[in-house]
Structure 1
Amino acid sequence: MAGPAAGTSRLLRGGMGAAAVGLLLIYNSVDVAPSADPGPGQAAPPAATASASPGAVGPAAAAKPAAAAAPAAPALKRAKPTRLRIPQIAVDAPFTELTLNPAGQLNAPPPEDKNLVGWYRDGAAPGERGAAVVAGHVDTTKGPAVFLLLSLLVPGNKVEVQRADGTVAVFAVDSVETFAKDTFPDQKVYGKTTDSQLRLITCGGVYDKKRKDYLDNVVVFAHLESSRKA
Structure 2
Amino acid sequence: MTPKNPGHRRGPLASTAAGVLLLLTLAGCAGGPATTPDAGPAPSAPVSAPAAPTTPSAPPSASAPAPAADTQQLPPVMSASAPVTLTIPSIGVRTDLIHLGLEENGSLKVPEDTGNGAPASWYDGSPTPGERGPSVVLGHVNSPNGRGGVFADLRKLTPGAEITVSRADDSTAVFTVDRGELYPKNGFPTLKVYGNTPGSELRLITCDGYDPATGEFDDNYVIYATLKA
Q: Same fold (TM over 0.5)?
A: yes
Q: Distance in 1 between matches of 2:219 and 2:60?
A: 21
Q: Deviations over 1:178-198 (max 9, x none)?
A: 001111110100011111000
User: CA contact under 8 A between 2:162 and 2:174: conserved in structure 1?
Assistant: yes
Percentage identity across aligned positions? 38
User: CA contact under 8 A between 1:173 and 1:222: conserved in structure 2?
Assistant: yes
- Give the corresponding residue for 1:78: 80
Q: Distance in 2 between matches of 1:225 and 1:205?
A: 30
**Greater RCO (CA < 8 Å, at least 6 residues apart):** 1
Q: Deviations over 1:44-87 (max 9, x none)?
A: xxxxxxxxxxxxxxxxxxxxxxxxxxxx9621111110000000
* SS, match of residue 182 in structure 1: helix
Moved over 4 A (4+): none
| Residue 40 of structure 2 corresponds to residue 11 of structure 1 | yes
Root mean square deviation, CA, Å: 2.0
| Residue 176 of structure 2 corresponds to residue 147 of structure 1 | no
User: CA contact under 8 A between 1:17 and 1:190: conserved in structure 2?
Assistant: yes
- Give the corresponding residue for 2:19: none
Q: Distance in 2 between matches of 1:208 and 1:185?
A: 25
- Give the corresponding residue for 1:102: 104
| Post-superposition offset of 1:105 | 1.3
Structure 2: tracts of 5 or more residues without a match: 1-28, 42-54, 65-73
| Post-superposition offset of 1:217 | 0.7
Out of 44, 62, 65, the residue aligned to residue 20 of structure 1 is 62
* SS, match of residue 223 in structure 1: strand
Change in Cα spacing, 1:138 to 1:9, as seen in structure 2 (3 Å) is closer
Amino acid at match of 1:82: V
| Post-superposition offset of 1:206 | 2.7
| Post-superposition offset of 1:209 | 4.8
| Post-superposition offset of 1:107 | 1.1
Alignment TM-score, normalising by the size of structure 2: 0.71
| Post-superposition offset of 1:204 | 1.1
User: CA contact under 8 A between 1:18 and 1:123: conserved in structure 2?
Assistant: no
Q: Number of residue pairs matched?
A: 176
| Residue 194 of structure 2 corresponds to residue 165 of structure 1 | no
Out of 195, 199, 206, the residue aligned to residue 210 of structure 2 is 206
Amino acid at match of 2:124: R
Out of 191, 201, 224, the residue aligned to residue 187 of structure 1 is 191
| Residue 121 of structure 2 corresponds to residue 92 of structure 1 | no
Q: Deviations over 1:128-181 (max 9, x none)?
A: 111000010011212211101001111111000000010110001111110011
Amino acid at match of 1:96: I
